[in-house]
Amino acid sequence: MRFAIGDTDFLLDGEPHRVLSGAIHYFRVHPDLWQDRIRKAKLMGLNTIETYVAWNAHAPQPGVFDLTGGLDLGRFLDLVAEEGMHAIVRPGPYICAEWSNGGLPYWLFADGTVGVRRDEPGFLAAVQTYLEQLAPVLVPRQIDHGGPIVLVQVENEYGAYGSDPVYLTKLEAMHRSIGLTVPFTSVDQPMGSMLEDGSLPSLHKTGSFGSRATARLARLRQAQPTGPLMCSEFWDGWFDSWGEHHHTTPAAASASDLEDLLAAGGSVNIYMFHGGTNFGFTNGANDKGVYRPIATSYDYDAPLDEAGRPTEKFHAFRAVIERYAPVPPLPASMQPGGSGRLDPVAGVASGVGVGSAVGAGSAVGSGGVGLEARRAPATDVAVRLDRVAPLAALLPTLASWTAHDVPPTFDALGAASGFVLYRTEVALPTGGVLTVGTEVRDRALVSVDGVVVGVLEREHHDRAIALPPVTGTLELLVEDQGRVDYGPRIGEPKGLIGDVRVDGELLSRWTAAPLALDPIAPAALSALADAAPAAGDVLAGPVFASGSFELASVDDRYLCLDGFRKGVAWVNGFCLGRYWSRGPQKTLAVPGPVLREGRNEVVVFELHAAASRTVCLLAEPDLGHTEG
């Protein structure tokens, strides 16, 4: 088959073709649930799946490129093909996506000499290596090789960042040099000169917007006089940041905008069809004068919610799409009021969309629960965290110390994210005021002789704190709350930036240690399991606590931490991500494939304090979100 850009339309084997796409980021969804989410996209009437490629997820350290498990992009694309659907791939190298560092590896900028998103030799050389590592996955899966990929995007909303046609020309040539032959696109907002600044004549320009579709398409047509009109990021919702309200858009209004877009003959990629979750420490952040870390949930108010269930928006969009393209019949479980689960008899009829669906009864990977028959979820499970150990007790299993004259950055320590503990000895018989010279990135828990005395918050531009009298150990437990993913602060280092002083006197002779938390060190789990059962109902942090629970059957669950303030949670060693009582997020998603029949283990790292030592595994999600 062949996919091309014609004078007025996309052409599939020479015939006009409308792209009806939805975004699913494979790196935000458990791999055993990929097929379930893809199949549900087809049930909404879509014929294409779009995904970014998160470079930093595949390359967590120099010399590493991981394409296994949840990073098996080839398998994800093969599942798209099995559903008879096409794929749009956006390898960046920059992706934004509210993802840590916009997808760029932290180590690329560690020595301060490599450029960011520009025509700089060090950056371009790294990008060339990255694309060559992707080539064996992408090249044979292009449509003209019998695969699903029909479009590849070069860079991402570059017009909002800069205007460097030399950089874009070299980047386009690199994509071609690895063997990519399908049409290339760019995307920018139809505002100002972004469409022109972020593209080249050889890249088909597409737009990113979520409303006023008719006006946006008119501006896009000015910048792209020929060929199909496409909104390749139709924003149907928005992301959430900690401490802000939960963002929603009315289903009827979004459906009306989608109607306008399709009525004008446009193609679309719905961003997002299914958002998923920022598991572990993968969330990004924004900083436009005030630092705002992004929440663990990436629900996005999408047609398929974080729990994989169809929303009102799913049905509203499907009703619009079926006026312009054939849609498959909807199983009873996907009807309004249904469970939202697909079982072995809920297949998608063949011949709908761009090809035939895979057999309806196929399982989802090894041990997958997405399409298998699933029993009705059990009642909620309360879990008592009966094993408790302070951070200090587990440090030998979590930390490897190094000595430094001044506090090193996370980047210098080889720490992509998470926590670093800084320690020095001080003699302050009358106390003093501790100051960090430039910035705290992003949050520091300050302790003297094991007693927490306060917090320095980047969001509040905190750089100073009063210390009580102390002759002993000063510690700063610094959390990277998410690397900035948008704008000029992409690529900045994390940690304590600048000198650390007390009453103007420089503090030196530091030791520092990143904490092994994602994945959590097995030795730490063993030590926690061996801890004596704790009495009382409260927790004083920073502290680890664990408890076990039994399940007769596995299904998606949702961890509720009412009474806890801020920290990180794991189930069976899988890092669910961060929680924070400031909201708007109320529960952490626990993918069914993470669980097992019989005994399961939950671990919580609470930084401050908890009013209870009981957490709850909910059978149904609480997606109400606090309004903050």
Q: Tell me the catalytic residues.
A: 157, 233
Contact 189, 215 (CB under 8 A): no
Tokens representing 68 are: 């296994």
Distance CA 137, CA 64 (A): 16
Give the position of tokens 């809920």: 346
For 8, residues 6+ apart whose C-beta sits below 8 A from its C-beta are 16, 226, 227, 228
Distance CA 616, CA 596 (A): 17
Omega into 542 within 30° of 0, i.e. cis?
Answer: yes
Contact 30, 364 (CB under 8 A): no
Q: How does 378-413 read in b/e, with b if 16+ C-beta sit within 10 Å?
A: eeebebebbbbbebeebeebbbeeeeeeebbbbbbb
Distance CA 517, CA 166 (A): 41
Distance CA 233, CA 227 (A): 18
Backbone φ and ψ of 617, nearest 5°: -90, 105
DSSP H stretches of helix in 516-610 = 522-529
Tally of CB atoms within 10 A around 596: 12
Our CA dihedral for 287, 293, 295, 300, rounded to 10 degrees, sits at 10
- Letter for the amino acid at 453? V
- Letter for the amino acid at 541? G
Distance CA 53, CA 173 (A): 19
Tokens representing 512 are: 């520092």
E strand segments, 57-181: 86-90, 149-153
Question: Please, is 190 exposed, middle or buried when counting C-beta atoms within 10 Å of its C-beta (0-12, 13-18, 19+)?
Answer: buried
Contact 595, 554 (CB under 8 A): yes
Omega into 93 within 30° of 0, i.e. cis?
Answer: yes
For 382, residues 6+ apart whose C-beta sits below 8 A from its C-beta are 614, 615, 616
| Nearest residue to 486 (alpha-carbon basis) of 47, 255, 189 | 189
Largest Cα–Cα distance of the chain, in whole Å? 82
Residue 497 has, within 13 A of its CA and on its CB side, a CA count of 14
Query: Which residues does residue 230 pair with via DSSP β-bridges, in sequence order?
Result: 267
Eight-class DSSP state of 288: S
- Letter for the amino acid at 327? V
| Nearest residue to 604 (alpha-carbon basis) of 516, 526, 544, 520 | 544
